[in-house]
């Protein structure tokens, strides 16, 4: 009898010990289920731009044509600009290696051939870029995103080797959350912090720089407005017009401020936040001549006299709801709104050029410059071709002025 009792006591002790170890392990190890639910709740804060249509249809209809909205989209006929026609769908790295852009079963692929034999095919899943300068393309591999080796270069109307790639077909360049932070409104990261390559949930992605990128997650706002349709206060949403100058600049600088080293997780920064709390933001503003025209418009603008002697922000010249690309006369009028008689000095060439100066301040003072960061190799070229982008370093460019005067003289 004592033996049986002793056995029961031993068994009970073992059970208690095992239960204790299990509970201790639960305390020490993170609960992956809880972490995933917490992450998903971030995505649920977003409503999607379609939810804005019922109250802001005109703005929505305009915004979907902007470069911001189109900076990432699903890879469909509607958004891919490059040709898949025979003879126009090939990029040859050498006489024996080429990549063909092919349509198969309603999907698009980049297919590598070596000596005419197919070696690898990867699907176009995401288009990155509005096409104003070009488009590059991403492929999902499990939960990871990879850049495809061939890019569409709009200026030449050709397929090209993607910027920064070596002269061979590479399908394994991973896309980071920092890339996606500037080319999408939100993507749910599902990999552990610091893991490389990072993993994302394709079902929890909001393409493009959309309404909620600039106004903040809107699910709560939409819910409130549905329940209170007569409310005009705009609750639970951010109005960028009410931001301070620095808040406004910080938000644009998130993606137009050059290479920023993040010190928190991607997508943690929200409109209205202070950028230096999320990124190391040191910029050599005294060396604007060496700032590349791609990606650091803030650095160039901040070095400009116009910027330093005023309270201007990016929104002084840009209406983010409208596609204003190429509308030089429109932007020139915005220059003149400050540089007008009795306010700021008019251009010294006003008397010589006449009223036509009102139509184009931009080509003289913000000329197109070749980017060192965005260079592609076109078919058969040994040297890269740079994309040309509008400089935001506003100043007098004597050579550009001479070109403008010569052009005006030729027209007359």
Given a contact cutoff of 8 angstroms between Cβ atoms, the answer to whether 189 and 152 are in contact is: no
Please report the pLDDT score of residue 281 as a whole number: 75
Could you tell me the pLDDT band of residue 409, with boundaries at 50, 70 and 90?
A: low
Please report the pLDDT score of residue 300 as a whole number: 95
Using the predicted structure, report yes or no on whether residue 33 has a pLDDT greater than 50: no
Please report the pLDDT score of residue 285 as a whole number: 56
The answer to whether residue 70 sits within a structural domain is: no
Please report the pLDDT score of residue 34 as a whole number: 36
Tell me the mean pLDDT in the region 67-84: 96
Please report the pLDDT score of residue 17 as a whole number: 36
Reference 290, options 281, 307, 303, 274; nearest CA is: 303
The answer to whether residue 220 sits within a structural domain is: no
Using the predicted structure, report yes or no on whether residue 337 has a pLDDT greater than 50: yes
The answer to whether residue 192 sits within a structural domain is: no
Tell me the mean pLDDT in the region 94-109: 95
Using the predicted structure, report yes or no on whether residue 344 has a pLDDT greater than 60: no
pLDDT tens-place string over residues 151-206: 999 999 999 999 888 788 999 999 999 999 999 999 999 999 889 999 999 999 99
Show the domain range for 390.
Answer: 283-412
Please report the pLDDT score of residue 200 as a whole number: 97
Please report the pLDDT score of residue 23 as a whole number: 36
Of residues 289 and 38, the one with the higher pLDDT is: 289
Question: The pTM is what?
Answer: 0.86
pLDDT tens-place string over residues 376-390: 999 888 889 999 999
Please report the pLDDT score of residue 2 as a whole number: 43
Which residues are bridge partners to 205 per DSSP? 187
Of residues 381 and 72, the one with the higher pLDDT is: 72
Please report the pLDDT score of residue 118 as a whole number: 97
The answer to whether residue 371 sits within a structural domain is: yes
pLDDT tens-place string over residues 220-254: 999 999 999 999 888 999 999 999 999 999 999 99
The answer to whether residue 275 sits within a structural domain is: no
The answer to whether residue 314 sits within a structural domain is: yes
Please report the pLDDT score of residue 40 as a whole number: 56
The answer to whether residue 374 sits within a structural domain is: yes
Please report the pLDDT score of residue 357 as a whole number: 74
Please report the pLDDT score of residue 167 as a whole number: 82
Question: Cis omega before residue 197 (within 30°)?
Answer: yes
User: Between the CA of residue 186 and those of 126, 270, 310, 388, what are the distances in Å?
Assistant: 14, 11, 33, 29
Please report the pLDDT score of residue 113 as a whole number: 97
Using the predicted structure, report yes or no on whether residue 328 has a pLDDT greater than 70: yes
**Count: domains in the chain:** 1
Could you tell me the pLDDT band of residue 27, with boundaries at 50, 70 and 90?
A: very low
Reference 45, options 259, 324, 267; nearest CA is: 267
The answer to whether residue 159 sits within a structural domain is: no
Which residues are bridge partners to 368 per DSSP? 390
Tell me the mean pLDDT in the region 341-359: 70
Using the predicted structure, report yes or no on whether residue 148 has a pLDDT greater than 80: yes
Tell me the mean pLDDT in the region 118-123: 97
The whole-chain average pLDDT of the chain stands at 87
Tell me the mean pLDDT in the region 323-335: 93
């Amino acid at each position: 009898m004592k033996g049986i009792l002793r056995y029961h006591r031993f068994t009970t002790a073992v059970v208690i010990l095992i239960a204790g170890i299990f509970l201790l392990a639960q305390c020490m190890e993170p609960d992956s289920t809880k972490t995933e639910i917490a992450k998903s709740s971030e995505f649920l804060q977003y409503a999607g731009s379609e939810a804005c249509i019922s109250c802001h249809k005109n703005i929505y209809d305009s915004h979907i044509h902007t470069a911001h909205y189109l900076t990432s989209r699903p890879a469909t006929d509607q958004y891919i600009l490059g040709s898949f026609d025979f003879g126009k769908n090939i990029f040859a790295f050498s006489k024996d290696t080429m990549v063909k852009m092919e349509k198969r079963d309603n999907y698009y692929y980049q297919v590598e051939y070596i000596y005419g034999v197919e070696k690898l095919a990867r699907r176009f899943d995401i288009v990155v870029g509005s096409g104003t300068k070009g488009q590059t393309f991403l492929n999902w591999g499990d939960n990871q995103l990879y850049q495809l080796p061939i890019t569409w270069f709009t200026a030449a109307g050709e397929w090209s080797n993607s910027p920064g790639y070596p002269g061979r077909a590479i399908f394994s360049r991973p896309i980071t959350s920092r890339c996606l932070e500037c080319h999408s409104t939100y993507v749910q990261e599902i990999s552990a912090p610091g893991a490389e390559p990072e993993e994302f949930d394709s079902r929890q992605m909001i393409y493009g720089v959309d309404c909620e990128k600039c106004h903040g997650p809107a699910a709560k706002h939409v819910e409130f407005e549905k329940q209170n349709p007569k409310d005009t206060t705009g609750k639970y949403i951010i109005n960028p017009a009410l931001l301070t100058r620095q808040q406004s600049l910080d938000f644009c600088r998130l993606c137009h401020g050059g290479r920023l080293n993040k010190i928190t997780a991607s997508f943690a920064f929200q409109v209205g936040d202070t950028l230096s709390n999320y990124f190391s933001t040191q910029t050599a503003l005294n060396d604007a001549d060496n700032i590349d025209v791609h990606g650091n418009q803030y650095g160039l603008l901040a070095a400009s006299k116009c910027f330093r002697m005023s309270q201007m922000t990016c929104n002084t010249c840009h209406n983010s709801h409208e596609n204003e690309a190429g509308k030089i006369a429109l932007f020139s009028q915005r220059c003149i709104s400050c540089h007008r008689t009795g306010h700021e000095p008019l251009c010294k060439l006003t008397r010589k050029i006449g009223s036509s100066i009102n139509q184009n301040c931009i080509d003289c003072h913000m000329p197109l410059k070749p980017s060192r960061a965005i260079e592609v190799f076109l078919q058969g070229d040994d040297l890269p071709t740079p994309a040309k982008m509008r400089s935001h370093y506003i100043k007098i460019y004597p050579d550009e002025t001479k070109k403008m005067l010569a052009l005006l003289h030729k027209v007359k």
